[in-house]
Amino acid sequence: MTFTTGATLLDAVVLAIVSEENEGTYGYKITQDVQQVLEISESTLYPVLRRLQKNEFLDTYDRQYDGRNRRYYKITKEGVRKLEYYREEWDNYSGRITQCLKGEVGV
Amino acid sequence: MNRREFMDALERQLQDVPLEDRIDALQYYEDYFEDGGYDKEQDIINELKTPENVANIIKRDLGILKESNGENSENNKTEYKNYRGEYSTNNNGNYNWTNDSQNMNNYQTYNETKSNNKFDKRLILIIIIITFPITIGPVLGFFGALFGIFVAVFGVAFGMYAGGIGCVIGSIALLATGAFADASIVFGVGLILLSIALFVTLLCSFMCRVVIPSVFNGIRKLIRYFRDGEATA
């Protein structure tokens, strides 16, 4: 990928992906889903999830699966609000970049 | 390196991470391997590179590790290659994932200090248990003495207050009988007793605020020290 993905954009993508699952989702699946969108290493996501959890944008709970505890991540109300904010910011930002790159500035 | 070896190495690499964060990270990667399934095990390990790489990412995020540069990931790549070569020739379970002798030495010293530490903790615990019948006397004696001093100081304070107030009241009674000289002496003694009582009161509050909390703090730290050691053993 030519363009690099900053920490904030990664936060936004993870929040968007987790928010898709009403019941919450788990680390492995989140990584797979993010990898559909961005080129990230499997070791990248743990600190991101941990940070989002610390900031109370994500909540975790353990649920039995296949005779073991699996950790699930769920978006919080605070997280939904943050995601809304990111969406607006992204529209703004990407809109301006698109305009610029396509030579539509001032049109 | 298989999953078990990877996780064991990761746990060793995370020794200097606080227990709660360590458990959280290990749980995450256990989950990750479990959800990836056996088929994906080698793929995941290949992508995670080395336990050291994963540990460094976690530590950097926690602010335990400061250095962060592009060079680092280059190093990790070569380390991984070396490890592959090394492991196939050296199948005794000592997975040295690097040929770089300096790094290997670091790893070994790290391992030694860690096992020494664990050994020390266990040794101390065993010594405490074995010498328990002998040490229990002095230990209980120490706490008994501490308790005794407490009661004594409170007792002295109480006595001084009672004496001081008694003298002051007495001097007023003497005043009523007309013995002015006697009354003033007794009044003065009463004031001296009260002032000593105030001083001892300060001592009491110092003991309550400083001595008792620090004794309990010490006990709590001691317990945590051993419990932490057991949890990671």
**Per-residue model confidence as pLDDT tens digits over B81-104:** 333 333 333 333 333 343 344 444
Query: Cβ(B36)–Cβ(A28) under 8 Å?
Result: yes
Confidence at residue B64, expressed as pLDDT on a 0 to 100 scale? 80
Q: Which residue, among A46, A60, A70, would best test binding to B if mutated, counting the most B CBs under 10 Å from its CB?
A: A46
% pLDDT > 90, chain B: 16
How many angstroms away from the CA of A98 is the closest CA of chain B? 30
Q: How far apart are the first and last CA of chain A?
A: 30
Q: Which residues in chain A (5-64) have CB-CB distances under 8 A to chain B?
A: 26-29, 31, 41-44, 46-47, 49-51
- A73 strand-pairing partners: A25, A60
Q: What does the alpha-carbon distance between residue B219 and residue B227 come to, in Å, rounded to a whole number? A: 12
DSSP 3-state of B18: coil
The yes-or-no verdict on residue A87 having pLDDT over 70 is yes
Confidence at residue B214, expressed as pLDDT on a 0 to 100 scale? 84
The pLDDT confidence band at residue B66, using thresholds 50, 70 and 90, is low
- A65 strand-pairing partners: A68
Q: What does the alpha-carbon distance between residue A17 and residue A35 come to, in Å, rounded to a whole number? A: 11
What order of strands is seen across the sheet that includes strand A25-26?
A25-26, A68-75, A58-65
- A60 strand-pairing partners: A73
Choose the closest CB to B28 out of A41, A46, A66. Answer: A46
Q: What does the alpha-carbon distance between residue B107 and residue B222 come to, in Å, rounded to a whole number? A: 29
The two tokens of residue B145 are: 């003495």
**Per-residue model confidence as pLDDT tens digits over A29-64:** 999 999 999 888 888 899 999 999 999 999 999 888
The yes-or-no verdict on residue B202 having pLDDT over 70 is yes
The yes-or-no verdict on residue B126 having pLDDT over 60 is yes
Query: Cβ(B200)–Cβ(B157) under 8 Å?
Result: yes
Q: What does the alpha-carbon distance between residue B207 and residue B184 come to, in Å, rounded to a whole number? A: 35
Q: How far is CA A80 from CA A57, A76, B165, in A?
A: 8, 6, 68
Secondary structure string (H, E, C) spanning chain A: CCCCCCHHHHHHHHHHHHHCCCCCEEHHHHHHHHHHHCCCCCCCHHHHHHHHHHCCCEEEEEEEECCEEEEEEEECHHHHHHHHHHHHHHHHHHHHHHHHHCCCCCC
Chain B residue set in contact with A, beta carbons under 8 Å: 24-25, 27-29, 31-32, 34-36, 44, 47-49, 53-54, 57-58, 60-61
The yes-or-no verdict on residue A14 having pLDDT over 60 is yes
Confidence at residue B93, expressed as pLDDT on a 0 to 100 scale? 39
The yes-or-no verdict on residue A84 having pLDDT over 60 is yes
Average pLDDT over chain B reads 76
Interchain proximity B61–A29, CB inside 8 Å: no
Q: Where are the domains of chain A?
A: 7-101
Confidence at residue A86, expressed as pLDDT on a 0 to 100 scale? 96
Confidence at residue B138, expressed as pLDDT on a 0 to 100 scale? 87
Residue predicted with more confidence, B117 or B225? B225
Residue predicted with more confidence, B113 or B206? B206
Q: CB-based contacts of A49: which residues, under 8 Å, 6+ apart? A: A14, A27, A30, A58, A73, B28
Report, at the CATH architecture level, how domain A7-101 is classified.
Orthogonal Bundle (1.10)
How many angstroms away from the CA of B43 is the closest CA of chain A? 10
Of B28, B104, B192, give the one whose Cα is nearest residue B95: B104
Q: Where are the domains of chain B?
A: 3-99, 131-232
User: Which value does ipTM take for this structure?
Assistant: 0.85
